[in-house]
Amino acid sequence: MRFNFQKPFNRYLEKSSERWKTHGWSCLTNSLLFDERLTKNHLLVCLVLAVHNFRGQDYCSPSVRTIAREARLSIQTTINAVRELEKWDWLQVHRGPGKANKYYPRFLR
pLDDT in tens, the chain (109 residues): 555 555 655 555 455 556 666 667 777 888 998 999 999 999 999 999 998 887 668 899 999 999 999 999 999 999 999 999 999 999 999 998 888 899 999 887 6
Terminal alpha carbon distance of the chain: 52
Q: Could you give the 3-state DSSP secondary structure of residue 99? A: coil
Q: Which fold has domain 27-108?
A: Arc Repressor Mutant, subunit A (1.10.10)
**Confidence at residue 9, expressed as pLDDT on a 0 to 100 scale:** 52
Sequence spans of domains, the chain: 27-108
| Confidence (pTM) | 0.78
**Confidence at residue 19, expressed as pLDDT on a 0 to 100 scale:** 61
